[in-house]
Structure 1
Amino acid sequence: MTIKNRDSFLNNLAANLGRPRRTESVERPAYSVSPQKEAWKDATSEELLEVFKEQSIKMSAEVEETTEENLPSLIRDLIVREGNSVIAAGGERNDLYGLTEMYEELESRIGEVHIYDSALGKENQVIAERADVGVTFSDVTLAESGTVTLFNDKDNGRSISLLPKTYIAIVPESTIVPRMTQSMQVLREKEKSETEKTPSCVSFITGPSNSADIEMIKIVGVHGPVKAIYVIVRDS
């Protein structure tokens, strides 16, 4: 990525602030306490899993548990239960978890099965809008808030989790971390890496869309999927 006109922009900004332009780096302060790093830091993976499940249910999400071996059949049954069409994220994890063959077999049973294809551009959004179900993997999962984190890229557009009536998040147990702090650390490492790509967008999803703006009455499905299902894949 090439940054154009940076110097002229920064010079003009400094001039309007009435001071010389700063060219030295800013030293990061050394904080005496870091409470954001303390929450759940000593929790075991089993304890984090239980926290995530409890919080997800509070956020009106349905929670399922399965093994890697049984994941394809469970996802297939959930899709059939929830509707007649599905849009799913692409990428190598579909092959890794045995979902590619399941999606191919599912095409003969329901109305439409679409794997997100960046070559189709905006057409993916049109398909997502009419889909009953959207399926993605969670890249980092936040136990404290019952949140799945999606690193959106060419195989995993935002529309998959935003436009269908039901959203299914596949949550590998290994992705569960205490809270937002750890997801930011993962992103920071991606940014510093010379081999990994930084996602074009990051989506944080905590249960189905809802709002209690009017008289504190909670309404689900206001601006997104009416139902969210988290499928936890237990580590072997």
Structure 2
Amino acid sequence: MGGTVQNRDAFLSKIAKQLGRASKTEIARPTWQYQPQDRVLKDATKDELVEVLAQQCKNIHTDIVITNTANLPADLQKVVENYGGQSVITWKDERFKGYGLGKLMTEQWPQANIQLYEWDSELPEENIRQAEKANIGITISEITIAESGTAVLFSSKDKGRSVSFLPENSIILIPKSTIVPRMTQAARKISEKVRNGEQIASCINFITGPSNSADIEMILIVGVHGPIKATYIVIDDQ
């Protein structure tokens, strides 16, 4: 729903008068001579960006697994087992089935006594309760920033942000096609969606590995206000 700005022109005119200049109704976007934000990793291939991401994961205390759709179920199972299994919460997202994870999640995990809970927009309180007690949360990155090792998650009624915040361990699936060089390209992709009239999530989370803080005496503490451990699983979907 669009909003309406009230008394904008009068307000801006008053400010301009106080500043002793005419009110400007249009501002031309400046063209900068140097644009380093576009030069870094400009010509990198997707494979090179995966290498950059893998190196950055070492700095952000995040494990990384590089796989394809054929091997994804087995590789995901290994990560889940390494985290101790027990209970998993996921978004309600058809892409899990598209990646061939349906049988793993709905058949193999129950047989292995791994409880699976899928986010249900009709049960908000139960969603939070399940996220709080889940051992592992699994989400999917919409845009992935190679330089910083950041996964960008779009929240929605079926994609609760608690899935990536409350469980002790976080697994984020990274489609290779989503990887971009820097924050510049990530912001540009989001801006393009807005200009194209696409509905954008009201909450966009930029997640860089497990939660950590160095606010006190510059001592890094991991797992302060979110997952203690994180794994990115890069899927070759191209």
TM-score under structure 2 length normalisation: 0.89
Supply the AA of the counterpart residue of 2:228.
V
Shift of 1:111: 4.8
Supply the AA of the counterpart residue of 1:55.
Q
CA distance in structure 2 between the partners assigned to 1:118 and 1:212 by the alignment: 35
**Unaligned segments of structure 1, at least 5 residues:** none
Instruction: Give per-residue Cα distances to partners, 1:22-80, cap 9 Å, x unaligned.
Output: 68343211222211111100112221111100001111001112211111222233223
Supply the AA of the counterpart residue of 1:112.
Q
Name the residue aligned to 1:7.
Answer: 6
Greater Cα offset, 86-95 or 70-79:
70-79
Local SS of the residue matching 1:118: coil
CA distance 1:25–1:81, shift in 2 (3 Å): same
Local SS of the residue matching 1:190: helix
Supply the AA of the counterpart residue of 1:114.
Y
Shift of 1:130: 1.1
Name the residue aligned to 1:173.
Answer: 176
8 Å contact kept, 2:16–2:23: no
CA distance 1:164–1:18, shift in 2 (3 Å): same
Local SS of the residue matching 1:154: coil
Instruction: Give per-residue Cα distances to partners, 1:121-174, cap 9 Å, x unaligned.
Output: 243122111111000111111111111111222221111111100000111111
Supply the AA of the counterpart residue of 2:32.
Y
CA distance 1:115–1:19, shift in 2 (3 Å): farther
Greater Cα offset, 225-234 or 89-98:
89-98
CA distance 1:219–1:42, shift in 2 (3 Å): same
CA distance 1:216–1:104, shift in 2 (3 Å): same
1:223 to 2:225 alignment: yes
CA distance in structure 1 between the partners assigned to 2:67 and 2:132 by the alignment: 28
Matching of residues 5-154 of structure 1 within 5 Å: 6-8=5-7, 10=8, 13-14=11-12, 17=15, 19=17, 24-82=25-83, 83-105=85-107, 106-154=109-157
1:185 to 2:184 alignment: no
CA distance 1:230–1:102, shift in 2 (3 Å): same
Aligned-pair RMSD on alpha carbons?
A: 2.2
Greater Cα offset, 25-34 or 145-154:
25-34
CA distance in structure 2 between the partners assigned to 1:230 and 1:127 by the alignment: 22
CA distance in structure 1 between the partners assigned to 2:230 and 2:65 by the alignment: 11
